[in-house]
Every structure is written in C-alpha cells, then in structure tokens.
Chains A and B, each alone.
Chain A
Amino acid sequence: MAPLLAAARARYRQLAAYAVANRAGAFTNGLFLVFRAHLFQACFDAGRIGGLTPLQATGYAAVTQALLMVCPQWVNVGLADTVRSGQIAVELLRPADFVWLHFAGRAGASAFYLVHRTLPLLVFAYAIGLAPAPSPWSLALCLVVVPLAAVVANALLFLVEVSSFWLESDRGVRYLLVGVALLPSGLSLPLSWFPAPVQALFLATPFPYTLHLPAEAFIGRIGPEQAVWAVGAQLAWAIGLVAASRWAFSRGVRRLVVLGG
C-alpha cells in the first residue's frame, strides 16, 4: 500500500509544479464551460427540455467541463510512450505491480485536478449563475460517483494505450475512443436531449459513467432509488474495466520484445 500512496502523491506534486500550465488549462476549461452553458441556455424558450430546467442544463455543462481532467477523455496517460520507448522493461523490474502503480499515479492526477480544476470551476460557475447549489444528498452522491467515474475513465484510457503492445501506434485506437465516447459521455450535450432509443443505446456503454452520471448527480436528478441502480452499474463497469486492463496488460507483457542491448 505504501508504494501506491507514494506514487499517487508523487504525481500530485509533479502536476503542482506546473502552476502556470494548470492556470492556462483552467482558463480554457472555464471558457468552454461558459460557451456550452450559454448554448444550452439558448435552447430554452420556456419550461424544461428533456426533464432539465435551464439552470440544471447549464449546471450539466459546468460539471462535465469541470470534471474533464479528473475523468479524462483523451489525455495521454503515458503507458503507450513507456511501451514504445522500451522503458517498460525497467518499469517491470520494480518490486511493485505495474498496473496498480499506474492507477495509483492516475489517482494522484485526478486528486490534483479535483482540487485545482474542478472546485474552482464549479465555484466560478455558481458565482456567475450557471450552476445550481447542490443539495447535501447530491454532494454525498458525488463523493461516491466521481471517484468511480475517474476509475472508469482511466481504465478506458489504459485499455486504449495497452493496444501499443500489438500496434506500432495507439493513435488510431485513441481516435476511435474519442469518436465513440464524445456523445455518450455527455460532454457534447445532455444525454436526455437525445431521442429515447439513442439514449438507451448510450446508457448501455461505459461512457456515460465518466461524466454524465456525476453531472446528473450534481444537478439533483438522481433520487436514492435510481442512485442504487446507477452506482451499481458504475461499480460493475469500474470493476470490469480494471479487470480487463489487468488481463490485457498481462497478455501484452507476454508478447513484449524490447529491442536494444
């Protein structure tokens, strides 16, 4: 356990060293948040759309943007680079499990962005009237849902990059992920604005459990009864995808031939 905590802490501190880069990223994130929120607002003539009030819709835009680095959708998590450069051979010699060490580092990154990206952006969105104040129940639900969402998102990225054991470059697979995940994750539009059959299709994939579910939880659209089902499904995806990551990695390592002397 100690090495995992150390890996997470090291990653947190590494990101904290680039303060300017984080501020630049937060600025861009924040501007996208404002663009999306006002687009959603402009869709309303009166009443609700897809069960959302205007404030809930802009809140949905705020949460999905604010969590973008905590539950990353297309970030380079470094596994493919490690494989391509041959550094993986050194990593495998370490007296700790590589996959757990990797996820511990990602947990450190998510924790960093939760504190230095998500919270400031949500406060900003609330201050300019684009996000509702969450109820205690919504906040409690987010405490469960956001960490699980980070696990699902990072496991998906791990699976993308693990393909570099077999392929020369993981770029094609990465594009495939962005191309498949963009709409069902909720980053583009609230899922409830899509036609019902499309929604059902989206909810059968793991992608809504990365951004959509935390957003719905935050804006107070998930009651205790739905929460049981939603968290259950999210937990199942998290466990399944991490297991798949471990399995794919061990298969990949068996195939690995590192060049050089």
Chain B
Amino acid sequence: MRIYLALLGASVRAQLAYRGAVWLEALGRFWVTSLELVGVLVVFTITDGLGGFGRWEVVYLYGVATTALGVASVVTDGLKDMPHLVRTGQLDGMLVRPLSPLLQVLGRQCRLMQVGRPAQGALTLLWALWHVAPDGPLRYGMVGVNVAATTAVFSGLFVLEGASTVFTVQAAEAFSAFTYGGAQMTQYPVPIYPAWLQRVFLWVVPVGTACYLPALVVLGHPDPLGLPGWAPWVAPLGALAFFGACLLGWRAALDRYTGTGS
C-alpha cells in the first residue's frame, strides 16, 4: 500500500509541473459530465416520473453512479495502459519484480484531470441529498455504503478489463458497455429497463445491485421489482464479493500470460 501511494505521489507531482493544462482538462471533464445531468433535468421537464421515481430521486442515482465511476476510474487509471504494456512486452518486466503486478500497473499513472467527473458527481450527490432529505443517521450512513459498493463494482470491472488484454488487446471496448454503460444505466431507475437487462445488471454484472438497491433504503422508496426486503442490505456484500472475484480473475489471467514473444 505504501509503495502504491509513493508511486502515485510521484505521478501526481509530475503532473503538477503542468498545472494549467491539468486544471483546464479537469474543468472540461466536469463540464462534459454536467451535460448528462442537464439531460436528466430536461427529461423531467417532459415527464413527472421515471419508473415511479421523482426528479431528485433520479438525480441522487445519477450522483451515486457518477461519483463511483469517477473514483473508480481515478484509482484504476494505470490499468488503461495495459494494452500498451502487453503489446510492448513491458509487462514481462513487471512480473519478475518482487511486487504485485497489479500495484505496479496501478502505480504507473493517475491522471489528475480525471477528478472532474467524481467532483461533479459528489456535488450533484450533495445537491440531491439536500432535496431528498433522508431521515435518520442510518440512511445517511447508507449513502456512504451505496457509493463505496458501486465504486467497488466499477473498480472490479476496470481490473477485469485490464486482465482481458492479456488475451486480446482488441476487446477492451466491450468492457465500456459495463463501466460507462453501467453508469449510464444506473443513473436511471432499474425498473425502466426490460427484464433481461435487469437480470444482467442485478445478477451478472452487479452495477444495479450496488447502485440501485441500497438507494432504495436511502430514499425510503418501496421496491417495484418485488425483491425480498433484506435484498438492499446484502447488496453491498454482493458488490464486495464481485470485486474479490475480479481480483481472482486478474490473477488467473496473469497466470495464463504467455507474453507477446520477441
């Protein structure tokens, strides 16, 4: 952990040499992410509810999904280099060092401009909470659990995406369907989607499990899907288990790594 932080610290200091460019790009991301929120608000000028959820409830979901995806992509930024590392064979060098390859890859970079998205998500989340006003400290605590669980699922997906490059560097875009696509999906209530999609995002890739189910507790909203009452409480554990499974997947993939030859 300490080594990881040291590596990240070096990356961050290097970027601060170009402070202006970093800030501009972070602002740019903040703005582009905000346009999605504008989309949500425009939708609510033409309709009063989506799948039985009101405007601020949907803005809350948007806040959780955006913050979680943002934090996950900042933390796992180093993995975006994986196709390059595999293609050039630099990964071989990492495997012989006495440090977990995952930590080495993660520590390679952490681009500060990425903070635009989580910053926008967190501000939106606060804005939504101010309007939704959950009652009781338990529900506020659940907000933290909600964001943490969703972040764990997105981080796991980014790790799997990185691991997939060991087999082919071409398939990485398919994972965007679950990361960026997953965030796009869960910023709206799960019940608006057809049953097969609900099943995929609740049981296979638990983005919906982590984002939507705990949100029901925070919002004090009855579950239109008819899942048992304890489901929102075990959902975060499911998210954690998924994250663990992704780490195992990373390890299994590296065990099968054969290099690109020389």
Contacts and interface: CB of A to CB of B under 8 A. Distances in A.
Interface of A: 18, 20-21, 23-25, 27-28, 31-32, 34-35, 38-39, 41-45, 49-50, 169, 171-172, 175-176, 178-179, 182-183, 188-189, 193-195
Contacts of A43: 43, 46-47, 50
Contact of B192 (A27, A38, A169): A38
A201 to B, nearest CB: 14
A48 B36 CA distance: 23
A62 B174 CA distance: 18
Interface in B173-206: 173-174, 176-177, 181, 184-185, 188, 192-194, 197
**Shortest 7 CB-CB distances between A and B: which pairs?**
A175-B28, A24-B174, A42-B192, A21-B170, A28-B177, A20-B170, A31-B177
Contacts of B197: 34-35, 38
A153 to B, nearest CB: 18
Contacts of A32: 177, 181, 184
B45 A195 contact: yes
20 contacts: A18-B170, A28-B174, A34-B194, A35-B184, A38-B194, A39-B50, A39-B192, A43-B50, A50-B46, A169-B21, A172-B24, A172-B25, A175-B29, A176-B28, A179-B32, A182-B32, A183-B38, A189-B43, A193-B45, A195-B45
Interface string B47-81: 10011000000000000000000000000000000
A182 B144 CA distance: 31
Given A28-B181, A49-B46, A193-B42, 19 more contacts: A24-B170, A24-B171, A28-B177, A32-B181, A32-B184, A35-B193, A38-B193, A38-B197, A42-B51, A42-B188, A43-B50, A49-B47, A50-B46, A172-B24, A175-B31, A176-B28, A178-B32, A182-B32, A195-B45
A194 to B, nearest CB: 6
B88 interface: no
B39 interface: yes
Nearest to A44: B47
Given A179-B31, A179-B32, A35 B39 contact: no
Given A35-B185, A43-B50, A194-B42, A28 B193 contact: no
Nearest to A194: B42
B172 interface: yes
Contacts of B21: 169, 172
A179 B25 CA distance: 12
A27 B32 contact: no
Interface residues of B, number: 34
Contacts of B50: 39, 42-43
Given A45-B47, A175-B25, A194-B42, A188 B36 contact: yes
Most chain B CB neighbours (cut-off 10 Å) among A20, A23, A175, A195? A175
B260 interface: no
A50 B188 CA distance: 21
Interface of B: 21, 24-25, 28-29, 31-32, 35-36, 38-39, 42-43, 45-47, 50-51, 168, 170-174, 176-177, 181, 184-185, 188, 192-194, 197
Contacts of A49: 46-47
A32 B176 CA distance: 10
A179 B45 contact: no
Contacts of B170: 18, 20-21, 24
A178 B35 CA distance: 10
Contacts of A34: 193-194, 197
B261 to A, nearest CB: 19
A179 B47 contact: no
A21 B181 contact: no
A183 B42 CA distance: 11
A182 B36 CA distance: 9
B147 to A, nearest CB: 21
A188 B36 CA distance: 8
A109 B203 CA distance: 37
Nearest to B24: A172
Contacts of A193: 42-43, 45-46
A62 B224 CA distance: 27
A41 B42 CA distance: 15
Contacts of A50: 46
A45 B51 CA distance: 10
B171 to A, nearest CB: 5
Nearest to B48: A45
Contacts of B171: 20-21, 24
